[in-house]
Chain A
């Protein structure tokens, strides 16, 4: 069965510095991978997704992620953090044989300091 591990429960950065949120996945098949963002007491918004096309995926708000099969990783990055990036981020995997399910990581809370 597939699974996803977010390596950091909390990440703190200063405004204007780079962001790195780490995600490793496990799957016996080629997975689809997603990053979602959640602001407090809100639903989830899709940042970006990988579905076997280009390994470097660009998303909204300047975020991007690189699919590395050899490392089973899908880390989320942003060159320069903004105060509005403070939120919870979820890495998500979907793969056979349970392709109709999304498996969520436990989340990483990003804090951005001025």
Chain B
């Protein structure tokens, strides 16, 4: 089945540690996105990538890093510099970037990160 797979579903991190969240898609989509979701705040864009080997900062990129070495993979690293990392993280992909029919995004099931 085609789709987006995020792993793990739940992740616990000690303060001061870096952790990497996985996102894989087999939809052959060019664009991929990482969002952070906090209660009452909707989704906020962390990073996005329009094409392999290229990515752009979103609205809340500080304390996060990404890579896009392969079209199907867009891992997110939450670094120790992120002051409040506890949140629900959602990965998405879309066939293309830009306004129009191909702007529809498909979402993974999310990773809930908790700092302990």
- Do A and B come together as binding partners? yes
Q: Interface on A for B, CB 8 Å cutoff?
A: 9, 29-32, 34, 36, 41-46, 49, 51, 90, 94-96, 99-102, 104-107
Q: Once bound together, how far apart are the Cα atoms of A43 and B109, in whole Å?
A: 4
Asked if A100 and B50 make an inter-chain contact with CB atoms under 8 angstroms apart, the answer reads yes
With A99-B98, A100-B97, A100-B98: A41-B110 Cβ-Cβ less than 8 Å: yes
Asked if A42 and B109 make an inter-chain contact with CB atoms under 8 angstroms apart, the answer reads yes
Asked if A45 and B107 make an inter-chain contact with CB atoms under 8 angstroms apart, the answer reads yes
Q: Is B2 an interface residue (CB 8 A)?
A: no
Asked if B99 and A105 make an inter-chain contact with CB atoms under 8 angstroms apart, the answer reads no
Q: Is B76 an interface residue (CB 8 A)?
A: no
Asked if B107 and A43 make an inter-chain contact with CB atoms under 8 angstroms apart, the answer reads yes
Q: Is B1 an interface residue (CB 8 A)?
A: no
Asked if B107 and A44 make an inter-chain contact with CB atoms under 8 angstroms apart, the answer reads yes
Q: Interface on B for A, CB 8 Å cutoff?
A: 4, 6, 31, 33, 35, 40-45, 48, 50, 58, 88, 90, 92, 97-101, 103-110, 112
Asked if B110 and A99 make an inter-chain contact with CB atoms under 8 angstroms apart, the answer reads no
* Interface residue SS majority, chain A: loop
| Total of A-B residue pairs, C-beta within 8 Å | 69
Residues of A within 8 A of B88 (CB): 41
Asked if B42 and A99 make an inter-chain contact with CB atoms under 8 angstroms apart, the answer reads no
Q: Once bound together, how far apart are the Cα atoms of A41 and B35, in whole Å?
A: 14
Nearest CB in chain A to that of B97: its residue: A100
Q: Which 5 residue pairs are nearest across A and B when measured between Cβ atoms? A: A100-B97, A43-B107, A99-B99, A104-B42, A44-B107
Interface centre among B43, B97, B98 (most CB of A within 10 A): B43
Nearest CB in chain A to that of B50: its residue: A100
Given contacts A32-B99, A45-B107, A51-B101, list 14 more A-B pairs with CB under 8 A: A41-B110, A42-B109, A42-B110, A43-B109, A43-B110, A44-B107, A51-B100, A94-B99, A96-B99, A100-B103, A102-B45, A104-B35, A104-B44, A107-B40
Residues of A within 8 A of B106 (CB): 46
